[in-house]
Amino acid sequence: MKQEETSSASSFAGLGIKSGILTQLIKINYKIPTPIQRQLIPIAIRGEDVIGIAQTGTGKTLAFAVPIIQKIAAIKGQALIIAPTRELALQIDETFQKVGFVFGLRSVVLIGGAPIGPQIRKLKGQNHVIIATPGRLLDHLGQKNLTLARVHTAVLDEADRMLDMGFEPDIKKILGQLAPERLQTMLFSATMPENISKIANRYLKKPLRIEISPAGTAPSEVEQEIFIVAQTKKGELLKKVLDEYTGSILIFCRTKFGVKKIAQTIGRLGHSSAEIHSNRSLGQRKEALAGFKSGKYRILVATDIASRGIDVVGISLVINYDLPEKPEDYVHRIGRTGRAGLSGKAISFVPPEQKYAIRTIERLIKTTLAVKTMTGITEQPQQGNFIRNKSRHQAKRRSYGGRFRR
């Protein structure tokens, strides 16, 4: 894995990227760096520790993948990427392979829900990048299937999500096995609560902070629509929405039971759909995501946790069939549309008894959302089929620790 410096006029040029990697980026159609890529790549190439505050869809995976690939080409060793879910781990591996395979980069993905035998066999070979979920990584470490002695770069991706899922003890145990004197650490999180700050203070060395799309910032490219609708009438409203919108649609539900029920309803309505939740096998989840990306399935129904790692350009509509438990997750959800310079829409179905949750979201994103109360699904709104509200206000980063009341 040898690269040389370049004076190319590519828009990624000037960031300290070697010529071979620049050429590969152009080949796979990465031509214009996103803000986080422009800021983070030079810092990471210098070997600095980094805290990146960024929402999904900002291009952060490529932002840390490029410096890691370049570093491994120069000084060998290994990089360790820790992610909260299987889907996100596989998405990260896909990015590393797209950029690094031409240089002989080898990666191993250690995730639950997949047979451990093939992972053990792959660990016996040479791997430059280890991409893992915390639990499965600790399983392998406990069985002495690998050592972290050669790791020179560690990445904690979606750290806030990992802590929400109860992985804080696992993260500390893993970081405690790394050699701090020669370790470069990059931590990425959509929010920066106190427990994340404590981990950063303990394990990162004078980190530089990069903040893109601060927490609570609703994407300006996304039109938001709120409907007050009885729980028993959500199915009728869903039919109306699916009939009107012909593009790709991502539907969020809070429970795996709800996801399954909605997918069945969609099938009865004659639409193609797939589902992602914790009861689906790894193979089923991979097939569902691949089918959604390819257009085989027009609609994907998912829970919040299972949806981590869904990075699909061109989603035209996000439907919050249920509001999320935390207001921050509302921002994560609607950020799945309106990516790569495209516009998008987000529609939320809110029962009357959950109106308080709308106010909670508004306080976070510092935007007043237009709300339409539907007393009958056949009733036509006064202005078009839906009331639209486009988020135009960029919110300053704001800490929020509360949850929606039940």
Query: Of the ranges 58-62, 63-67, 329-333, which one carries the lowest mean pLDDT score?
Result: 329-333
* Per-residue pLDDT, 2: 40
H helices then E strands: how many in the chain? 14, 15
- Angle made by CA atoms 158, 159, 165, in degrees to the nearest 5: 95
Q: What sign does the CA torsion over 201, 206, 207, 208 have?
A: positive
Question: What mean pLDDT is predicted for residues 249-273?
Answer: 93
Residue 380 in contact with residue 237, Cβ under 8 Å? Answer: no
Rounded to the nearest angstrom, the gap between the alpha carbon of residue 374 and the centroid of all alpha carbons in its chain is 33
* Per-residue pLDDT, 271: 93
Identity of the amino acid at 211: E
Helix (H, G, I), strand (E, B) or coil at 300: strand
222-390: CATH architecture = 3-Layer(aba) Sandwich (3.40)
* Per-residue pLDDT, 262: 95
Residue 234 in contact with residue 399, Cβ under 8 Å? Answer: no
Q: Show the tokens assigned to 315.
A: 């989603």
Q: Show the tokens assigned to 291.
A: 């089918």
Question: Of the candidates 63, 79, 80, which has an alpha carbon nearest to the alpha carbon of residue 71?
Answer: 79
More confident residue, 330 or 67: 67
Domain with CATH 3.40.50.300 in the chain: 19-211, 222-390
* Per-residue pLDDT, 377: 53
Phi then psi for residue 17, to 5 deg, are -85, 140
Q: What is the DSSP letter of 95?
A: H
Q: Show the tokens assigned to 381.
A: 């709104």
More confident residue, 221 or 131: 131
Task: Using the predicted structure, report yes or no on whether residue 360 has a pLDDT greater than 80.
Answer: yes
Write the pLDDT tens digit of every residue in 5-44. Answer: 333 334 898 899 999 999 999 999 998 898 999 999 999 9
Query: What confidence category does residue 142 fall into, taking pLDDT thresholds of 50, 70 and 90?
Result: very high
pTM score of the predicted model: 0.70
Write the pLDDT tens digit of every residue in 321-359. Answer: 999 988 888 888 888 887 766 778 999 999 999 999 999
Residue 70 in contact with residue 290, Cβ under 8 Å? Answer: no
Task: Using the predicted structure, report yes or no on whether residue 379 has a pLDDT greater than 50.
Answer: no
| Residue whose token pair is 């080409």 | 73
Rounded to the nearest angstrom, the gap between the alpha carbon of residue 275 and the centroid of all alpha carbons in its chain is 17
* Per-residue pLDDT, 332: 81
Q: What is the DSSP letter of 104?
A: T
Query: Of the ranges 88-102, 119-133, 387-401, which one carries the lowest mean pLDDT score?
Result: 387-401
Task: Using the predicted structure, report yes or no on whether residue 166 has a pLDDT greater than 60.
Answer: yes
CATH superfamily of 19-211: P-loop containing nucleotide triphosphate hydrolases (3.40.50.300)
d(CA 73, CA 12): 18
Q: Is 317 exposed, middle or buried (0-12, 13-18, 19+ CB in 10 A)?
A: buried
Q: Show the tokens assigned to 215.
A: 């927490």
* Per-residue pLDDT, 378: 45
Question: What mean pLDDT is predicted for residues 45-65?
Answer: 91
Identity of the amino acid at 292: F
Phi then psi for residue 23, to 5 deg, are -60, -40
Residue 192 in contact with residue 223, Cβ under 8 Å? Answer: no
Residue 29 neighbours by CB distance under 10 Å? 7
Which distant-in-sequence residues (6+ apart) come within 8 Å of 287 by Cβ?
274
* Per-residue pLDDT, 55: 74
More confident residue, 352 or 307: 352
Question: What mean pLDDT is predicted for residues 204-232?
Answer: 83
Q: What is the DSSP letter of 370?
A: P
Query: What confidence category does residue 206 fall into, taking pLDDT thresholds of 50, 70 and 90?
Result: very high
Residue 171 neighbours by CB distance under 10 Å? 17
Q: What is the DSSP letter of 254?
A: S
Question: Of the candidates 183, 100, 88, which has an alpha carbon nearest to the alpha carbon of residue 132?
Answer: 88
- Partnered with residue 300 across adjacent β-strands are 250, 274
Residue 51 in contact with residue 209, Cβ under 8 Å? Answer: yes
Which distant-in-sequence residues (6+ apart) come within 8 Å of 343 by Cβ?
221, 222, 223
Q: What is the DSSP letter of 255?
A: S
* Per-residue pLDDT, 270: 92
* CA 317 to each of CA 265, 298, 369: distance values in angstroms, whole numbers, following the listed order: 18, 11, 17
Task: Using the predicted structure, report yes or no on whether residue 385 has a pLDDT greater than 50.
Answer: no
* Per-residue pLDDT, 392: 36
d(CA 360, CA 42): 38
